[in-house]
Structure formats: structure tokens, C-alpha cells
Amino acid sequence: MKFLLFFYFFFFNLLFSQESFVNGFDDIPIYKNMQNDKDSLILFDTINGRYLSSEIVGKEKMEDVRKFYLEVLPNLGWRMENENIFLRDSEKLEINYFKEENDTRIIFSISPKK
């Protein structure tokens, strides 16, 4: 019985956790079928806080993606400062949306709040 539970847990994690969050961000989900740009992750830890940047890309409509993050981020503790900037604890999250040919590209950046 324990083996069966372990197997289901392992399989569920493998199936759903690989691409379910923005690379480098352990609690920001990826919108629908968008994917991490694996080469985009930048991370620096300093005495003032962390600097983190990562991108996702996909064929989704930019306005649908923007609406999703406007609804989801407050549930994760992020307080909206303006449409593209959110604050939580001592950090600032900035989200930039771009249209690139047929793709939508979203850049997530965290820096210390000043």
C-alpha cells in the first residue's frame, strides 16, 4: 500500500511539476500552454536581496495572460502597485509583456523593494 501511494505521488509530481512554475520562481504558475525559456534564467543573491529574472513564451493571447496574473498574484501574497508591478515582503516583482512575431513573451523580474 505504501509503495502504491509513493508511486502515485512520484508520478503526479513528475507529470505536473516539471513545467508548472516559472523557472526560478517556486510559486508563480505558468499560464496554460506557455513554456519556460530555459536560457533566460538570471539569479543573483546580494546582501540587499535577490535579483531574479526569467521568461516564458507561448502562443497565448497577451491580454489573457495579463488578466491571469492580475488575478493569481494577489492570492500568492503579491500586492499590486500598478498593472505590471507587485510587492511582497521586501521584494518587487515586475512583469513585462511582449509580442514577438506569433509568440507572447513574458519576463518576470524580482528585485529588492526600495
- Residue 19: the pLDDT is 60
62 to each of 10, 29, 44, 45, how far by Cα in Å?
A: 34, 16, 28, 31
Contact 91, 113 (CB under 8 A): yes
* Confidence check: pLDDT of 9 > 60: no
Q: With bands split at pLDDT 50, 70 and 90, how would you rate the model's confidence at 1? A: low
Express each pLDDT in 27-75 by its tens digit. Answer: 999 999 999 999 999 999 999 999 999 999 999 999 999 999 999 999 9
Q: How far apart are CA 57 and CA 20, in angstroms?
A: 13
Q: How far apart are CA 58 and CA 102, in angstroms?
A: 9
* Confidence check: pLDDT of 8 > 80: no
Q: How far apart are CA 83 and CA 34, in angstroms?
A: 21
16/105: higher pLDDT: 105
